[in-house]
Chains A and B, each alone.
Chain A
Amino acid sequence: MQVPAPFDYVRATSVANALELLERHGPEARVIAGGHSLLPMMKLRLARPDWIIDINDVAELHALTEEPDELRVGALTRHAELLDSDVVGRLFPIIHDAERVIADPVVRNRGTIGGSLGQADPAEDLTTVCDVLHARIVIASPGGERVVDMADFHRGPYETACEQHELITEIRFPVRPRAGSAYEKVERRVGDWAVAAAGAALWMAEDGTVADATIGLTALGLEGPAVEAAAVLIGERPSEDLFAEAADLAAAASSPIEDQRGPVDYKRHLAAELTRRVLGRALDRAAHPAVA
């Protein structure tokens, strides 16, 4: 069996303590939460930290709070907890859609939202979900905390605004009325990383037109939301033709690469197909919100 190279281990007791440990142990220290990205990399010896700082005991990172205008999710919230949460399902069904297809149920018992966003794998689902929901990320630094938009947080594959000496502590999802959202992924098998996925959120105006919309793509070579695709929806009355137009624009914005999961034209086709599907489902959900 593959095993990690040697390192030292320390458990953080609080966010302040974690930051202090990061400071003390310098650039070769890594924070571990669920560990399902980091430990496999360490077993392959592609990651060789000198220090592992375990934040699993930091209770303040482990909260799910519904405020009138936003849902606050602690960075240490496990995938399984998001999936079990009725509040999450009612406000943001896209999160449940995505969580159902992230890894597998056992991995979801350990993996965390903060860890997923921090790893920033290009095929990672929650980055797209957070893009689509205009989430804001709270990052704690020795000098205090800052709140950044996804656009600023996610800088590209495996790269975020969270610096080595910092910690992602919370994800904030704004709550807005008449909202619907959805996510759909094509995978080669349950538990596999995405061949491609799309997520969308719609916020409807009282007159039945689209007040606001976002579309995001996963594993399709697009950083951040598909802005032009979403723009054609705004102010319009939803229709199959309108969604098809947005879907085509989303596909045009994608720049997938060929790999074992499929060729470029297939993935671009999926960008359109899945965008069309999630827009339809998001609209349906906006019209028929879940009662909880």
Chain B
Amino acid sequence: MTTVEERPAREANPSATAADRPIGFGRIQRKEDPRFVRGKGNYLDDIVLPGMLHGAILRSPMAHGRIVSIDTTEALAHPKVHAVITGTDLEGLNLAWAPTLSADVQAVLATDKVRFQGQEVAFVVAEDRYSARDALELIDVEYEQLDPVIDVRRALDPGAPVVRTDLEGRTDNHIFDWEAGDAAETDAVFAAADVVVKQEMVYPRVHPAPMETCGAIADYEPIDGKLTLYETTQAPHAHRTLFAMVAGIPEHKIRVISPDIGGGFGNKVGIYPGYILAVVGSIVTGKPVKWVEDRSENLMSTSFARDYIMTGEVAATRDGKILAVRTNVLADHGAFNATAQPTKYPAGFFHIFTGSYDLQAAHCKVTGVYTNKAPGGVAYACSFRVTEAVYLVERMVDVLASELGMDPVELRLKNFIKPEQFPYANKTGWEYDSGDYEPTMRLAMQIAGYEDLRREQAEKRARGELMGIGISFFTETVGAGPRKHMDIVGLGMADGAEVRVHPTGKAVVRLSVQSQGQGHETTFAQIVAEELGIPPEDIDVVHGDTDNTPFGLGTYGSRSTPVSGAAVALTSRKVRDKARLIAAAMLETRPEDLEWEKGRWFVKGDPGAGKTIAEIALGAHGTVALPEGVDGNLDAEVTYDPPNLTFPFGAYICVVDIDKGTGKVHVRRFVAVDDCGTRINPMIIEGQIHGGLADGVGMALMEFIGFDEDGNCLGGSFMDYLIPTAMEVPDWETGHTVTPSPHHPIGAKGIGESATVGSPPAVVNAVVDALAPFGLTHMDMPCTPARVWEAMQGRPTPPI
């Protein structure tokens, strides 16, 4: 059942009195904030270990070249240099190549060839970071330049240079073909349809660019063979297991610590060569080695996102019933297939491109190829390619609306999956858990004043002014995922949680997921609080340390609340069930005679006779005679295997004004109505949405990593990789509906990536709508002033 809520008024100062604070769900301030506002966060580069050395990486200046020779003599002679490591050195250790998250291998340090500009070639370890940088200049590498593969459309041409000559028998740049849906059925619907629209669109290469770059400190203790590895990682446990597999260090001898993380957005999921090099550096020198990338290294070598060239087609009736969607995709995976996604899905969850619509058929084919560009592929708040899928379908629906002369909202309303159709099996294999789309769309229209906006637009158009209104209605698939379908390098996508209630009734919850700013210390304390009635401030949340937390796959793809949130809720319920047994013993009654109210079991019909969680905890650890089979503690643990994914959705409306003389787009308003199911902390949810909306405006208007024909990266610094400032984004207008997930213990669906997924098509649809007087039906991101002006001249060129 969906509850439609009005746009909330700004809430009053919530810290007024302790009595007003919710014990459980509701708006409370974040537990992590006091250290951050005092500058007492503990990020990777803040950590200093005794005797610590500093690493720096020499990188390839060219996109494709054969390494002729590397001379490290001068660098080694630098008085402050302790080690210089090359690919040849790593070959001796069998560490020159490391497995990727997609069953490929990636060079840790190049041995044969360099395959993208910025690729790792040598590693210097020195006494301080300045000297390490100085020594890079003393390494002499001779390259023989090779023709690069830069234009992804030419990557499969016969005679194209072969990027992966290291792979046995490889004669082309093809990685995979992958399909979902029924091709024949879809073609049949298309053949019979009144109306078919088709559009090629590019979702260009962008980058998560968290404010903190990636880094690691490796501290290898030679006597007991223990490696302590501090890393900027969103997935500490998965990293530990992979390090055990790659480096051959026994897993119990590896401790991965992920300290405070300065933003991740998917960028900090993978294992980068720098992390492995820090480990090698520490083993070689016998001292802790810190490596932190600079911003150019971050933008040029770590996980990019998107780089999909998509041809979309929609079949419909003349009166606007959408019948089928099909798409062909060419995916640029760069020089190594290092995409992070569940093994069975080489194009991630792209097959959610059926969107929020009730279709008769759907089909997609995705072809992945190698090019001489940085590897990566899924990052930047992407929910495993859901971003690309939502962009495709929401752009195509607008193309259809334009063809039919229909209002884009009307067209969407006409085709929504109806509430009674849930759980809804779509045509590519998903089962949407719950949804009620129309009230969400209508709330967004109400907040925006949709009819008034259209009137204003008509008046402005009559005066020759350019105003656009863009709609996007997205459905995501997040919270990966069921173990039987989903694993990453063989590790099932489940997550563990442990709750311990101390004798005095305070508690600790230990998580496998890792916050990069999402407020886990608060949200997860609130889940325990909701289930056990222990105030959030009395609950310590421990994460980011593999020696002190249960195993699990980490935070990405909006999976923390759907997976770990469920684990914490179920663990808390186990504690509650156990508390009932102990309370019954303490009250000398039967468990079934007890009733729960938040924080307390009491005797049915006799509310005065009861025991609080604190009393029960003291009893459990004390001298109470425990029932048979009940241990003397109030602890529990659960590893949660989600039965299905969750399907958050939302309606976004963007209003833009375009300066006709300069092509400059001004985002005037942005309305976002999200439905993420049960809401744990509305403040944190709104914050997640706001951030994603800014990402979306950034991608739609300015973020872009381009390459010149030689493969030089043109987005390698913040001077060229542009991220919105406070001046380019409006004051977000948000609203929400609540349609709980039926299979999640608390009904929560996840919110981390909704806005990043949903907002780019809203902005682009608004820009295209504004440019409709020029006869335009599509333009690709980024909508920079120059590209918008070119579109006005009738040449909306793709960015690549």
Using CB atoms and an 8 Å cutoff, list the residues of chain A in contact with chain B: 1-3, 5-6, 45, 104, 186, 188-193, 195, 260-263, 265-266, 269-270, 273-274, 277
Contact = CB atoms under 8 A, between A and B. Distances in A.
A45 B129 contact: no
A188 B294 contact: no
B698 to A, nearest CB: 9
B784 interface: yes
Given A192-B722, A277-B661, A266 B790 contact: yes
Contacts of A2: 133, 294, 296
B725 A188 contact: no
Interface in B281-301: 292, 294, 296
A282 B725 CA distance: 29
Nearest to A261: B786
Nearest to B704: A260
B785 to A, nearest CB: 6
Given A3-B130, A262-B786, A263-B786, A186 B702 contact: no
B432 to A, nearest CB: 38
Given A2-B294, A263-B786, A189 B137 contact: no
B133 A260 contact: no
A190 B130 contact: no
B133 A186 contact: no
Given A190-B727, A277-B661, A3 B789 contact: no
Contacts of B728: 189-190
A190 B134 CA distance: 34
Nearest to A2: B294
Nearest to B797: A263
25 contacts: A2-B133, A2-B294, A2-B296, A3-B130, A5-B137, A6-B134, A186-B664, A186-B785, A188-B702, A189-B724, A189-B725, A190-B725, A191-B725, A192-B719, A192-B722, A195-B785, A195-B786, A260-B706, A260-B714, A261-B784, A261-B786, A262-B784, A262-B789, A263-B790, A273-B661
Interface string B771-795: 0000000000000111001100100
B789 A266 contact: yes
Interface string B101-141: 00000000000000000000000000001100110010000
A19 B722 CA distance: 40
Contacts of A104: 725
Interface string B670-714: 000000000000000000000000000000001000100000001
Q: Which 3 residue pairs spanning A and B have beta carbons closest together?
A: A262-B786, A190-B727, A273-B661
Given A186-B662, A189-B728, A273-B661, 16 more contacts: A1-B129, A3-B129, A45-B137, A186-B785, A188-B702, A189-B727, A190-B727, A191-B725, A192-B722, A195-B785, A261-B784, A262-B786, A265-B793, A266-B786, A266-B790, A273-B662
A76 B531 CA distance: 63
A155 B27 CA distance: 61
B210 to A, nearest CB: 15
Contacts of B161: none
B185 interface: no
Nearest to A270: B662
Contacts of A188: 702, 722, 784-785
B299 to A, nearest CB: 13
Interface in B586-626: none
B461 to A, nearest CB: 21
A266 B661 CA distance: 10
Nearest to B133: A3
A189 B722 CA distance: 7
A45 B137 CA distance: 10
A160 B292 CA distance: 39
B720 interface: yes
B663 interface: yes
Nearest to A40: B719
A37 B228 CA distance: 41
Interface of B: 129-130, 133-134, 137, 292, 294, 296, 661-664, 702, 706, 714, 719-720, 722, 724-725, 727-728, 784-786, 789-790, 793
Contacts of B793: 265
Contacts of B714: 260
A266 B720 contact: no
Contacts of B724: 189
Given A266-B786, A266-B789, A277-B661, A5 B725 contact: no
Contacts of B790: 263, 266
Contacts of A265: 793
Contacts of B786: 195, 261-263, 266
A51 B793 CA distance: 52
A1 B292 contact: yes
B789 A269 contact: yes
A263 B727 CA distance: 25
Contacts of B129: 1, 3
B549 to A, nearest CB: 31
A186 B130 CA distance: 38
A261 to B, nearest CB: 6
B710 to A, nearest CB: 15
Nearest to B786: A262
A189 B702 contact: yes
Contacts of B789: 262, 266, 269
A266 B296 CA distance: 29
Contacts of A195: 785-786
Contacts of A5: 134, 137
B620 to A, nearest CB: 51
Nearest to B784: A188
Nearest to B132: A3
Contacts of A190: 725, 727-728
A126 B664 CA distance: 23
A45 B789 CA distance: 37
A1 B215 CA distance: 11
Contacts of B296: 2
Contacts of A6: 134
Contacts of B722: 188-189, 192
A263 B790 CA distance: 9
Interface hub of A45, A193, A260 (most chain B Cβ within 10 A) = A260
Contacts of B663: 266
A188 B137 CA distance: 34
Contacts of B720: 260
Contacts of B784: 188, 261-262
Contacts of A273: 661-662
A96 B662 CA distance: 21
Contacts of A191: 725
A193 B718 CA distance: 12
A37 B730 CA distance: 31
A262 B133 contact: no
Interface hub of B727, B784, B785, B793 (most chain A Cβ within 10 A) = B785
A266 B662 CA distance: 9
A127 B722 CA distance: 25
Interface hub of B662, B664, B786 (most chain A Cβ within 10 A) = B786
B294 A1 contact: yes
A53 B788 CA distance: 45
Nearest to A185: B662
Nearest to B663: A266
Interface hub of A3, A186, A189, A274 (most chain B Cβ within 10 A) = A189
Nearest to A267: B786
A270 B789 CA distance: 10
A5 B292 CA distance: 18
A269 B788 CA distance: 13
Nearest to B130: A3
A62 to B, nearest CB: 29
A204 to B, nearest CB: 25
A85 to B, nearest CB: 23
Contacts of B292: 1
A262 B725 contact: no
Interface hub of A3, A191, A193 (most chain B Cβ within 10 A) = A3
A195 B296 CA distance: 22
A261 B788 CA distance: 12
B744 to A, nearest CB: 39
